[in-house]
Chains A and B, each alone.
Chain A
Amino acid sequence: MNFLNIVAKEHFKNRYMIVRIALFQLKSTYMSNRLGLLWVLLNPLSQLAVYWVVFGLGIRGGASVEGVPFVLWLSCGLVPWLFIGSGIVQGANSVSSQLGHVSKMKFPLSVLPSITILTQLISHLIMLVMVLIAVVIKYGFFGLSYLGIVYYLIASLSLLSALALFTSTVSAFVRDFRFVIGAVTRALFFITPIMWTVNAKTPELLKKVIHYNPVTYLVDGYRNAMLFNQFYIATAYTAGFWLGVAVLFVWGAFIHVRFRKHFMDYQ
């Protein structure tokens, strides 16, 4: 289990660097634009507008979801999804996209995926605060169930970090892998109830797929905590989720440490 030790040590030793470089990445992505960091909000807002018009007004005819206006219900699912979806895609690219910058120095390579996920987390936090403000204006302050937001945020972060360690190593060697990741992520978006709801007409098999999709666990969790004053995690699903994350992390750390010495030679 020495590889776990290596990954943990590199993260602990370089915690300051990880945060600073993530901030620099965010800055270099947005600061060259006229509107700067505002795009962190404008980008998801434009997506929200499209889904709202097409699914909310077009398909649902403006009907609310369990008494919640569709646009608000959609926002509370879309914001977690944007974090998870872009975390999966960017996380898989994290080594191959940054390797060139660190190619001529001794760099603790296991922090590369974490830097990328952290960059995504910062934009997520900005969006999350905005949505939460809208929710509080509409429904008032729920209090304790907001702990659920913190829990699901940590759960998403853990899943993404563990996954990125694995996927970034694979796609450093097999560039085609990022297309697979792209396709899977697109599919995940539609088999998670983000802009539509499971109802009586949904086939049993699809219901099962949706239920066992871990993204459903996260998105539904966020949404229940924000909109329905619910935070209940004492389920078998929770145990299964964390077991999965742990296995993924051990596996990811193992192949990362085993193969990373070849990163530079396989560039």
Chain B
Amino acid sequence: MHQVQFQEVSKSFRLHSSINEKIRDLFYIKKDFPVHHALRSLTFAVDQGDVVGIIGLNGAGKSTLSNLIAGVTIPSSGSVHINGNAALIAISSGLNNQLNGLENIELKGLMMGLSHQQIKAITPAVIEFAELGKFIHQPIKSYSSGMKARLGFAISVHIDPDILVIDEALSVGDQTFSDKCLAKINEFKERGKTIFFISHSLSQVKSFCGKGLWLHDGELKKYGDIEEVAAEYERFLKHYQALSPAERTELRASHWGEF
């Protein structure tokens, strides 16, 4: 039994040009709307303990994929099977600026489905990881963005999910912060958790992940050993960067002719 299994999963967004179209669509009044295919017919399986790096250009569908894994959105077609609970590390969501650090730990914990006891149990570890010191009793509107990011990351990561989805979460803080986060994620890795890691830093992905999943314009270009996938992606990037802007647009939009 795989821990995460995608079977011909597609996700498309209809491009409505007016609010009326949006409502008509909602009530299934048929009309052909232009559709943006964020993901097309993805099929892959991930086993427990796999660390998968998701790579691809901007707009390739990486965030849509991470939302699907975390159960935040549902596919337009196909099936997603997740064994265990998955959590997306979203640093700023679920935090309330008026409340203090401690209250925010409880608030975000509750929103992510923890019980009162579970929150009590993780609170000391979260405080320690976030390094907020005396600021823990201050409203977080007075925090620097780095402090907020540390708190948000600390809460998300201490929820202790079976499957962790990290979407560009490490790009917000300074070097010390991202090193600390990486160390924490490594701890997850050693404990045999399944991790999806999305980053534009190819070196970070290569050093950290065992498998690579390359998305291009919503399609699964290559999935397998990270070395092979990254090597091919690098070759593609080199080719892509040599193109003129017009050729780049053409390449990226090569599937848009299906309207």
Q: Give the interface of A toward B (CB within 8 A).
A: 16-17, 20-21, 24, 27-29, 31-32, 100-107, 173-176, 259, 261-262, 264-266
Cα distance, A249 to B123, chains bound together (Å)? 38
Known A-B contacts A21-B111, A262-B26; A104 and B99 likewise in contact (beta carbons under 8 Å): no
A17 with B110, Cβ < 8 A, contacts A103-B72, A104-B90, A264-B73 known: yes
Distance (whole angstroms) from the CB of A86 to the closest CB of chain B: 19
> Which chain A residues border B22 with CB–CB below 8 Å?
173, 266
A27 in complex: contacting residue of B88, B94, B99, CB < 8 Å: B99
Q: How far is the CA of A261 from the CA of B72 in the complex (A)?
A: 9
Top-8 shortest CB links A-B: A104-B90, A28-B98, A104-B93, A17-B110, A106-B71, A32-B98, A104-B88, A28-B96
B106 touches A102 (CB 8 A): no
Which A-chain residue is minimally distant from B104 (CB atoms)? Answer: A24
Q: Are B73 and A101 in contact (CB under 8 A)?
A: no
Rounded to whole angstroms, the CA-CA distance of A105 and B85 in the bound complex is 11
Return chain A residues, CB-CB under 8 Å to B147.
none
Query: In whole Å, how far is A207's beta carbon from the nearest beta carbon of chain B?
Result: 37
Query: If A20-B106, A103-B93, A174-B23 touch, does A32 touch B111 (CB 8 Å cutoff)?
Result: no
B112 within 8 A of A: yes
The answer to whether A105 touches B107 (Cβ under 8 A) is no
Residues of A within 8 A of B19 (CB): 174-176
What total of A-B pairs shows CB separation below 8 Å? 79
| Contact bitstring B108-144, A, C-beta under 8 A = 1, else 0 | 0011110110000000000000000000000100000
Contact flag A104-B110 (CB < 8 Å), given A173-B22, A174-B23, A259-B26: no
Closest to B88 in A: A104
B74 at the interface (CB under 8 A from A): yes
- Across the two chains, which residue of chain B brings its CB closest to A101? B94
| CB-CB under 8 A for A173 and B73, given A31-B98, A101-B93, A101-B94 | no
A265 near B23: Cβ-Cβ < 8 Å: no
Residues of B within 8 A of A20 (CB): 106-107, 110
B50 at the interface (CB under 8 A from A): no
Q: Flag if A16 contacts B116 (CB, 8 Å).
A: yes
A101 to chain B, nearest CB (A): 6
Selected from A105, A174, A264, A266, the residue in CB contact (under 8 A) with B94 is A105
What residue in chain B is nearest A27 (Cβ atoms)? B99
Question: Is A105's CB under 8 angstroms from B72's CB?
Answer: yes
Q: Which residues of A lie under 8 Å from residue B26 when comparing CB positions?
A: 173, 259, 262, 266
Q: A24-B107, A175-B19 provided; 20 other pairs, C-beta below 8 A?
A: A16-B115, A17-B111, A20-B106, A21-B110, A21-B111, A24-B106, A27-B98, A31-B98, A101-B94, A104-B90, A105-B70, A105-B87, A106-B70, A106-B72, A173-B22, A174-B19, A174-B23, A259-B26, A264-B67, A265-B13
